[in-house]
Amino acid sequence: MRTQVAIIGGGPAGLLLSQILHHQGIDTVVLERRSRAYVLSRIRAGVLEASFADLMRAAGASERMDGKGIVHEGANIAHPDGMFRIDFRALTGGNVVIYGQTELTLDLYDARDATGGTTFDNCSGVELHDIDSTAPYVTFCHGGQDHRLDCDFIAGCDGFHGPSRQAIPEDRRTEFEKTYPFGWLGLLSETPPVADELIYASSARGFALCSMRGPNLSRYYIQCPLSDDPEDWPDDKFWRELRRRLPDTVAEQLISGVSVEKSIAPLRSFVCEPMQWGRLYLCGDAAHIVPPTGAKGLNAAASDVRDLSQAFLSHYRDGDGHALEHYSSTALARIWKTQRFSWWMTNLLHRFPEQSGFDQKMQQAQLNQLAVNSSAQRVFAENYVGLAL
C-alpha cells in the first residue's frame, strides 16, 4: 500500500489535514488507533478562531458549522470587584465561533467518507520506520492483519501518547513541560446557557467558566483539586459550587439540570522541539499542549494543519521544499506565543495552593487594569481571536 502523506491520528487535526490535502490533489491515508465511536465520544473544546472556521470551509466540512455555529463577538470576565466585557469586534474586527469538537469531528468524518478517502480505525502496533530517509513507511495491524504503508511523508497527528513524537530520537528532541496543581471539573447539561457569551470567573473559591454548545446545551467548568474524582461531585454539589463562584446577578439566572457528561481534565503546558525530524512532521497535541483557559488547544492544532498543508502544496505543486524544511521553526514561533497567552490567562484567573496575599492582590490589580484599560483589552482580544501570523 502506498500514499503520498501518511497521517497518524484520526482526530480533528488528522482529519482536517487529510481533507485539505485531498482538495489540493494530494493523496493521504489516515490511521487511527481508536474506534470512530470512541473518537466521537470525546467532549472537548468548542471555541473556534475565525481562521479555523475558514479551514473547515477549505476542507469542505463547514455546512453544519456555518448553520449551527454561534458567532461570539466578545467575552465576559467576572472577578471579586465586578464583571466586564471585552468586545472582540470593536477591538480587533474579529470574532470566534462556538461549535463543539464532537460535532466538528463528525463533520470531518462525513466529509472524508464522501471523498472516498482511506481511513483505518482500530489500528494497533503502529510503528514509524526510516523517517530520516527519503522512503519512510508505517507498519500497523488492522483487522487481524499486518500492513505496510509506504509514503513520501508522515504527519504525526496522534496526540500526546501516540508513537509519532517518540519516533524522534530522544537525544534530538527537547520537551518543555509545566503541570498545574489543579484540574477542571466539566459538566455538560441540556439546559440553556446562563449568558449569550462566555463568562470567565475568578473568585476567592477558585476559577469557573460558563460556556455553551448550543441554545439548549451548556458546558460549565470549575477549578478543583487533581485528587478529586467526578463521583465526588454529584450534580447538586456542582451547581451549588458554581453559583458561589459567579456574580450574584449571574448565579440567579443559572438554570441547572441533570448532567449529560462529567469529567475532570488536568491542566498542563507542553512543547516538543523540534516539531519535525526527517520526513516526520508533528501536528497538535503530539507536539504541544496548552491549558484550556485561553481556548487555544484545538486552534493551535488547526494552525499547524494550515502551515503543514501549505508546505506540502508548495512541495508537490511547485517543487519548493523551503516551507517543509522550516515547518518546525515557523510553527514553534507561533506556538510559544500561544503558550504565553494560555499560561498568562491561567495564572490570572485561578487560585493556586501556595498563593500569598501579595500574589492575590497582584492578580486583582491585573484584573482591575484589564477592566478599564483599552490597550490591555486589545492585546487580550487579539490573542483570543487569533494572532495574525
Which residues form the catalytic set?
A: 72, 200, 292, 296, 384
Taking the C-alpha atoms of residue 101 and residue 116, their distance in angstroms, rounded to an integer, is: 23
Q: Is 252 helix (H, G, I), strand (E, B) or coil?
A: coil
End-to-end CA distance of the chain: 37
Whole-angstrom CA distances from 213 to 44, 62, 90 are: 11, 16, 24
Rounded to whole angstroms, how far apart are CA atoms 288 and 338? 10
Would you state the cell numbers that stand for residue 325, as one nine-digit string?
524544511
Grid cell listed for 38: 470512541
Are 208 and 83 in contact by the 8 Å Cβ rule? The answer is no
Locate the DSSP E strands across the chain.
Answer: 5-8, 28-31, 47-49, 70-72, 74-79, 82-87, 96-98, 118-120, 124-129, 137-142, 145-150, 153-156, 174-189, 199-203, 206-214, 217-224, 259-273, 276-277, 280-282, 288-289
Q: Where are the beta strands (DSSP E) in 274-356?
A: 276-277, 280-282, 288-289
Distance CA 19, CA 147 (A): 23
Cα–Cα nearest to 180, from 375, 6, 348, 37: 348
